Structure 1
Amino acid sequence: MSKVYFIKNTESDYNKLGNDALELLKEVISETGHSFHKEVPIKVHFGEKGNKTFIPAKCYDNIINFLKEKGVSPSYIETNVLYRGSRTTTELHIETAKDHGFTQIPIIIADGDIGTEYDEIEINKDYINKCKIGRGYGQFKQFIVMSHFKGHVEAGFGGALKQLAMGFAARSGKLEQHSGISPVVNAEKCISCGICVNKCDFSAIETPDTAVIDESKCIGCAGCIAVCPRGAIENTWGGSHFLEKLSEYAYGASRNKDIIYITFVHNITKDCDCSGTHMKPIADNIGILAGKDPVALDTACLDLVQENSRQKLFEKGRTSLRHAEKIGLGTMKYELKKIR
């Protein structure tokens, strides 16, 4: 059984949320004897352009200041997204982050300019043998993973597991979780400009009339998606066992890493912060939870949301939790310790 620490906070005061987040961090440090290295990245989600319900930058100020006071050098860390949007390339991603107020500390985009730089982490689980994790994560042993608990159309919910699985994975790793196959070309959009051909390091694309991807050569890096000026190369979003693959990538991302997890159960929307639209919350604010076991933490968040809403919201995501427990990432059994 793992301990999960909880502070109830139903207000929409982000300064108070920041204070509570720091209090929980101190509680975890005190309870576990955690000590920080000289450099500790903070994994966050900057929010897609147009999204209004992501956790704002001011909620991280107190933790950033606390780390600096302890002689720790913090940074934000993320990877580029798989789909075409305001966070597809490093340049656009950092621009979006700064527009959303994330200017306090340096920003690391761990998988390179277009999401193709990664290290392979061997896990040999049921569906994934090697996880493609953004190369920038490899230089650090410690992280603070800060999540926003909310819905997700495919995962059921987004929390600590998804922050690890998608947030640490390079573009090809994201593609592997979603589908495990090559991107596809929309012939109606393709203008045969050849940019994707020149970008592909594996000679997997030809343009006789429109771009054609040779699946036998394609490694699924999805770099072509990022460079196509017409948005003609797309993800399939199909595949199978997505929920289990997500758990296995979370396992690979956290392997041999020392991580503290903090989750805001606020602004609980139907869809995730990758949606570039304004969404209305579908459940009341609950508070902040923290711990060192991401499975226990996500389970506690899900239980609290369902108890408070009296609905089986996001129940689909419990499949990922069960698989994560099965492969040894953590336990769904937890002790909820209320700090106040």
Structure 2
Amino acid sequence: DRVTAPDLMRVAERNGFTSATLGAPFIAADGFNGTDDVHVDLPEGYILQEAYIAKALALADSAIVLTHFKGHPLGMVGGSIKNMGIGAQSKRGKYNVHMGGHPTYSLPATVIEHPEHVNDTVLNAIPDLCPYGALERNNGTYQWHRDKCTSCLGCLGLLVSNGVWETPVRYYAAQQAAMADGALAAIKALKGKVGFLNFAIDISPRCDCVDHADTALVPHVGIFAGRDPVALDQACLDAVVASQGTPGSAADDWGVMGAGDHKFAHASGVSPDVIGMSEEIQIKTAVKNGLGSAEYELVEVEPHDTNHAYLDPMDRRKVGLKYGPLYKRENPFPEERHDGFGFDRRTEIDIEAVM
């Protein structure tokens, strides 16, 4: 459970991400309830025309994006594009990317229901499952109020895995395209001052969102770095495709063990409806919207002595240099209110009466 900032921080701590281990504070970049964000207009987007970027990231001077490259149940691949396209979005930004409320590609607009597959597992889980009251249990079956559904995905795994919902490929494909747009918006908010690292190790079939690990689809591929997230993801994807699968992994289960086989396309999807879906939707969309290029040149990096590497954890800039640019973007003093005085206060009081 990582819906609110305290929930997220507890999950992070359980997984070893703390100030002590990171050498930097761990924060929820979009605030307590995921609405602390910056709106970004995106006329160049392929499907999204706006995005909501987590404020702590959007107001940062720059960013280094560390990504575990792996599969993803909603669209095959989780790399730098997905990390920025989902991870950098606030909660309302995630609703946007996940097609919440979309007239064509949302869950209510795409799902085909199979109520004949409702079973006790589904019925027992439904009470109080949906925060919007879109799911109810009535007379031994379930009722889904499509008009209340926001595509929050809280019930998707349950209903898809039990065959109650059939989710067409276009639902997943639209989200992949939206991730590329979301990534573009995040990089725009940072004015392009972003570097990317993809850790293509422990390449699990599904993302780190799920509550379990799995045997890596292929052996470790390596660590990739670059300024273009599109080229970076393409390089990692090509390396995974070119690798032999790991015996006993999901790649083995699906018979995609050979070099040249598309492991993610078969082993990663949350639904049988997406088996064989393209692994390159994010990449192709990111080329179309101008995020980057799928062309790349691999440059091998020689090992270096890291024993003497040192990163000063303290920001030693003077206050004006440190906060001046930030306050120009978001001024905590509301100088536009009350004729420049900022706040509604009495002009004069009897201060001696309380001294």
Fold-level similarity (TM above 0.5):
yes
**1:103 aligns to what?**
18
The aligned counterpart of 1:175 is 95
The answer to whether residue 260 in structure 2 is matched with residue 311 in structure 1 is yes
Query: Percent identity among equivalent residues?
Result: 27
Pairing 1:152–2:72 present: yes
SS at match of 1:255: helix
Write out per-residue CA displacement over residues 127-176 of structure 1, whole angstroms, 9 at most, x where no aligned residue.
11111222222221300100011111222111100110110112222222
3-state DSSP of counterpart to 2:297 = strand
Counterpart amino acid of 2:18? T
2:345: which partner in 1?
Answer: none
Instruction: Give the SS at the match of 2:298.
Output: strand
The 2-side partners of 1:278 and 1:192 are apart by 28
Indicate which of 267, 273, 281 corresponds to 2:208: 273
Q: Which structure 1 segments of 5+ residues have no match?
A: 1-85, 198-204
1:90–1:109 contact (8 Å) kept in structure 2? yes
Provide the rounded CA distance (Å) in 1 between the counterparts of 2:180 and 2:289. Answer: 8
Contact 2:42–2:49 (Cα < 8 Å) also in 1: yes
Say yes or no: does 1:242 pair with 2:204: no
Structure number with greater Rg is 2
Identify the residue that residue 286 of structure 1 maps to in structure 2: 221
Mapped to 2, the partners of 1:147 and 1:312 lie a distance apart of 23
Alignment CA distance shift 1:236-1:122 (3 Å) = farther
If each structure's strand is expressed as a fraction of its own residues, which one has the higher value? 1
Instruction: For 2:77 and 2:196, locate their aligned partners in 1 and report how far apart those are by CA, in whole Å.
Output: 16
TM-score, normalised relative to structure 1: 0.60
SS of the counterpart of 2:194?
strand
User: Structure 2 matches for 1:129-168, cutoff 5 A?
Assistant: 129-168=49-88
Structure 2 Cα separation of the partners of residues 92 and 259 of structure 1: 28
- Going from structure 1 to structure 2, the CA distance change for 1:334 and 1:237 (only over 3 Å counts) comes to same
Between the aligned partners of 2:232 and 2:243, the Cα distance in structure 1 is 17
- SS across alignment from 1:144: strand
Residue 203 of structure 2 aligns to a residue whose secondary structure is: coil
Match of 2:7 among 92, 95, 111: 92
CA contact (8 A) 2:99 2:151 kept: no
Instruction: Give, in whole Å, the separation in 2 of the partners of 1:193 and 1:159.
Output: 30
RMSD: 3.5
Aligned residue in 2 for 1:321: 283
Counterpart Cα distance in 1 of 2:73 and 2:107? 20
Aligned match for 1:128, one of 48, 59, 64: 48
Superposition deviation, residue 212 in structure 1: 9.7
Question: Which of 252, 268, 286 in structure 1 is aligned with 2:185?
Answer: 252
Counterpart CA distance in 2 for 1:301 and 1:194 is 37
Between the aligned partners of 2:209 and 2:25, the Cα distance in structure 1 is 22
Distance 1:272 1:339 in 2: 27
What does 1:222-233 align with in structure 2 at a 5 Å threshold? none
Tell me: CA distance 1:189–1:284, structure 2 relative to 1, closer, same or farther (3 Å). closer
* Distance (Å, rounded) in 2 between the aligned partners of 1:114 and 1:236: 31
User: Structure 2: any 5+ residue segments left out of the alignment?
Assistant: 109-121, 159-164, 245-258, 266-277, 303-355
How has the CA–CA distance of structure 1 residues 236 and 138 changed in structure 2, closer, same or farther, with 3 Å as cutoff?
Answer: farther
Write the letter of the residue equivalent to 2:282.
Answer: S
Q: 1:8 aligns to what? A: none
CA pair 276-137 structure 1, distance change in 2 beyond 3 A = same
Can you list the C-alpha shifts for 1:256-311, whole angstroms capped at 9, x where unaligned? 42111011110011111111013111101111010111001101111111112313
Instruction: Answer yes or no: is the 8 Å Cα contact 1:141–1:256 preserved in 2.
Output: no
- TM-superposition CA deviations, 1:98-147 (whole Å, max 9, x none): 12111232112112222233222111223111112222222213001000
- For 2:35, what is the secondary structure of its paired residue? coil
Q: Greater CA deviation, 167-176 or 306-315?
A: 306-315
**1:18-37 equivalent positions in 2, closer than 5 A:** none
Structure 1 pair 90–213 and aligned structure 2 pair: CA distance change class (3 A):
farther
SS in structure 1 of the partner of residue 180 of structure 2: helix
